[in-house]
């Protein structure tokens, strides 16, 4: 194996004249790197305005009307609501005023007054209707009694806790009775140990 000669013709070609192209990151020759650029960008704001300030006011299409306040009728036109003239109304460039909005991310109760809260026993009644249905029935009845006197929310939760508690209790009793009947009828001949 031999190494290729140092002047490999397959390498990158040199630019004509033997010079390197200028770097886009270096200043032009003869200019200080800290000197301002020679010309302004076409996208830069005019020098008399701050780039962070409000935009300049646009000229009004009604500028030829003299020193009248906005919305005033010119002397050669009748007032608004009378025939024979046209009142232009608000300027197209103006934005209508809106009511102030509340800031986002505020914590606390929803607007419209304090809420009354949901009865805890009503919530527990609905949960226990699925876990241990007789306890859901008891908690549902206790919640209904408290709701009559306290004025809290949760009446529908307590009602559904009672309904589901009774349904699941009835289904559980049917399953237990069926299992007992199966054991009695299947093992009633005395041959089982």
Find the range with the poorest average confidence among 31-45, 54-68, 116-130, 137-151: 54-68
- pTM given for the model: 0.40
Where do the domains of the chain lie? 120-186
Residue pair 99/88 in contact (Cβ under 8 Å)? The answer is no
Residue pLDDT, tens place only, 67-99? 555 555 555 655 555 555 555 555 566 666 666
Q: Inform me whether the pLDDT recorded for 50 exceeds 70.
A: no
Rounded Cα distance, 96 and 139, in Å: 56
Q: What's the CA gap between 32 and 35, in Å, rounded?
A: 5
pLDDT value at residue 48? 67
Residue 9 C-alpha from the chain's centroid: 63
Q: What per-residue confidence (pLDDT) applies to 103?
A: 64
Q: Is the dihedral of CA 12, 14, 16, 21 positive or negative?
A: positive
Q: What is the pLDDT of residues 133-175, one digit of tens each?
A: 999 999 999 999 999 998 899 999 999 999 999 999 999 999 9
Flag the least confident range among 113-117, 167-171, 178-182. 113-117
Q: CB under 8 Å to 168, separation ≥6 — which residues? A: 129, 130, 133, 136
- 170 versus 33: the higher-pLDDT residue is 170
Rounded Cα gap, residues 67 and 170, in angstroms: 88
Per-position DSSP letters for the chain, written without gaps between them: --PPPSS-TTSPPPPGGGPPPPPTTSPPTTS-TTSPPSS--TTSPPTTS-TTSPPPPPPPTTGGG-SPPTTPPPTTSPPTTSTT-----S-TTPPPP-PPPPPTT--SSPSSS----B-HHHHHHHHHHHH-HHHHHHHHHHHHHHHHHH--B-HHHHHHHHHHHHHHHHHHHHHHHHHHHHHHHHTTTS---
Please say if the pLDDT value at position 31 is more than 70.
Answer: yes
């Amino acid at each position: 194996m031999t190494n290729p000669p140092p002047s490999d013709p397959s390498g990158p070609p040199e630019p004509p004249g033997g010079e390197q192209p200028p770097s886009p990151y270096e200043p032009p020759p003869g200019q200080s790197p800290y000197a301002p650029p020679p010309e302004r960008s076409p996208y830069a704001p005019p020098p008399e305005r701050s780039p962070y300030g409000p935009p300049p006011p646009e000229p009004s299409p009604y500028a030829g009307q003299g020193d009248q306040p906005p919305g005033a009728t010119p002397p050669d036109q009748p007032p608004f609501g009378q025939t024979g003239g046209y009142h232009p109304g608000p300027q197209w460039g103006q934005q209508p005023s809106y009511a102030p909005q509340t800031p986002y991310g505020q914590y606390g109760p929803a607007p419209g007054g304090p809420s009354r809260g949901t009865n805890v026993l009503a919530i527990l009644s609905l949960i226990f209707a699925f876990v241990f249905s007789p306890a859901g029935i008891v908690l549902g009845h206790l919640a209904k009694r408290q709701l009559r006197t306290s004025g809290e929310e949760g009446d529908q939760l307590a009602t559904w806790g009672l309904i589901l508690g009774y349904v699941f209790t009835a289904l559980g009793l049917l399953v237990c009775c069926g299992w007992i009947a199966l054991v009695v009828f299947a093992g009633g001949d005395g041959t089982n140990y």
